[in-house]
Amino acid sequence: MTDGLEDAAHLAGVPDEFQRLWTPHRMAYIQAGPEPLREECPFCAAPAKSDADGLIVARGTAAYVLLNLFPYNSGHLLVCPYRHIATYDEATAEEVAEIGALTQTAMRVLRQVARCDGFNIGMNQGRVAGAGVDGHLHQHVVPRWATDANFFPIIAKTKALPQLLGEVRESVASAWPTG
């Protein structure tokens, strides 16, 4: 016994071959029920919240950056215009420029705090193209590591995320340049 905690071999239950992925941040989705984000656009609602509650890491003039609630990897960021538009061709020149600048900064910050080796960057435009929120333009910035390949996504449809969203938001927001 260490600090009042028993090791797993002495706990109740029958040991098995399964590993457990503890993801307490997912309780918000379980408790909210099916499709909790469909009542209002989550990308329109986020800027009205505090940065911590909205998972926002940086705010610009025409666009902002937040963590993805359903990340592919730890540090998966989204760059969104404040304006509710569905596709890239509807964006103004100012929105396009700021989305690009914020994406570049996101890459630099993620390299610094997550020490990633590469990125997937992209936009899914419309439901048929795979957009989960198809009414509000958003660009994905997904950090990748040379050593992050495993079989969880392939055989178990499971992503192992080593950090909670709040921890990731704090580290990225703290490293984001000001001014």
Residues that are catalytic: 138
Burial grade of 102 (CB within 10 A; 0-12, 13-18, 19 or more): buried
Element housing 119 (H / E): strand 118-122
Pairing of strands 56-59, 63-67: antiparallel
The span from the CA of 86 to the CA of 124, in Å, is: 10
Please identify which residue in the block is written with the tokens 């992209």: 122
Q: Which two tokens stand for residue 83?
A: 């304006």
Task: Determine contact, residues 54/47, Cβ cutoff 8 Å.
Answer: yes
The span from the CA of 100 to the CA of 80, in Å, is: 11
Task: Determine contact, residues 52/166, Cβ cutoff 8 Å.
Answer: yes
What is the residue type of 146? A
The span from the CA of 126 to the CA of 128, in Å, is: 5
